[in-house]
Amino acid sequence: MSLNWVMLAEPDGFALLPGEQHLWKSSPRTSLSLQSKNKFPGHEPFSLSSSAGTVYITNQRVVYLPAKPTPQLQSFAAFILNLRDSHVVTPLWGANYWLALVRPVPGGNIPPQHSELELKLTFKDGGAYDFTTTFGRIKERLQQAVEVARESGQYTENDSLRGPGAFGGVNLEAVHLDQLPAYEPPPPMDAPSAPPAPHPATTAATATAEAGRDSGLGTSSPDSVAAAAPKPADNYDPPAEPPPDYEEVQRESVADELERRLRDEESRR
């Protein structure tokens, strides 16, 4: 972390370091607060703030430029790997803010008795979660690149305290900065493969069979169809005897018809 080290330049607002790229920018109404984390007896507490300004994320640093610079605060910069324990706070009232602990670098205009300070960025126009998402992604990629450089002997623990040029042993051009695509697991090995497409003639025949099955036709075997079909008329054998109560029914029908006729005659007279 350093104060008033950033070289201002247009149109990006400040000059980039070798291999540095702009990745994110806030609204100009973002406030900054920097103060001592621990108050030791005999040590004068450190406190610095700005009510409005713009914060940037690059692939190396977090940079803050106040809207109204003062002799005490013209710019603020901290290497991403020098920031730890960062998180977003959502208060019941007021804007969301981002907190982190930051280590000053030698010669960074911070009193030497302060080994760690608390950084607070308040996003009055929103953007706290976008900021922390971008910051977390870049920090993770940088940590991976540092691990590779450390294994090859090109990076040591003191490199992160040197200020500009601290990433000299890290190949920043090889650090992937874009958002990775979402992971999609491969299909299981025992998953059944898709059946081959049926031949058109087979499809037509299947459709015909399905139609017959739905309508109740064409579902019986030839033997069952023959058994269910009615016999021809020449093979029909009439019963040898009349049905039960046939004569009684006949007599009742004749009596009813005779009574009806007598009533009709009387009515005509």
Query: How far, in Å, CA of 89 to CA of 223, rounded?
Result: 82
Q: What residue has token string 């911070």?
A: 110
* Structure confidence at residue 45 (pLDDT): 84
218 pLDDT higher than 50: no
Where does residue 85 fall: left (phi above 0), alpha (psi -120 to 50 degrees), or beta otherwise? left
pLDDT band at 245 (very low <50, low <70, confident <90, very high): low
The pTM of this model reads 0.62
Least-confidence region, from 6-20, 65-79, 97-111, 225-239: 225-239
Helix (H, G, I), strand (E, B) or coil at 242: coil
Pull the structure tokens for residue 210: 């399905």
- Least confident range of 99-103, 134-138, 245-249: 245-249
- The yes/no answer on whether domain 2-174 falls in CATH 2.40.128.20 is no
Residue with tokens 């929103």: 126
Q: How wide is the angle at C-alpha 51 spanned by C-alphas 98 and 44, nearest 5°?
A: 80
C-alpha angle with apex 83: 78 to 88, nearest 5 degrees? 110
pLDDT the model gives residue 225: 46
pLDDT of residue 22: 92
Q: Does 215 have pLDDT greater than 80? A: no
Specify the 3-state DSSP secondary structure of 101: strand
Closest C-alpha to 83, from 49, 117, 112: 117
- Domains of the chain, by residue range, sit at 2-174
Percentage of the chain lying above the pLDDT 70 cut: 61
Kindly report the CA angle at 174 between 177 and 79, in degrees rounded to 5? 60
User: What values do phi and psi take at 252, rounded to 5?
Assistant: -65, -35
Q: Is the pLDDT of residue 201 over 60?
A: no
If you search the block for the tokens 């093979």, which residue do you land on?
A: 235
Q: Which amino acid is at 41?
A: P
Q: To the nearest whole number, what is the mean pLDDT of the chain?
A: 77
At residue 76, what is the residue type? F
Residue 161 has pLDDT above 50, yes or no: no
Neighbours of 162 (CB within 10 A): 14
pLDDT at 160: 45
On whether the CB atoms of residues 161 and 137 are closer than 8 A, the answer is no
User: For residue 58, is pLDDT > 90?
Assistant: yes
Whole-number Å distance between alpha carbons of 61 and 69: 20
Task: Summarize pLDDT for 122-140 with one digit per residue, the tens.
Answer: 999 999 999 999 999 999 9
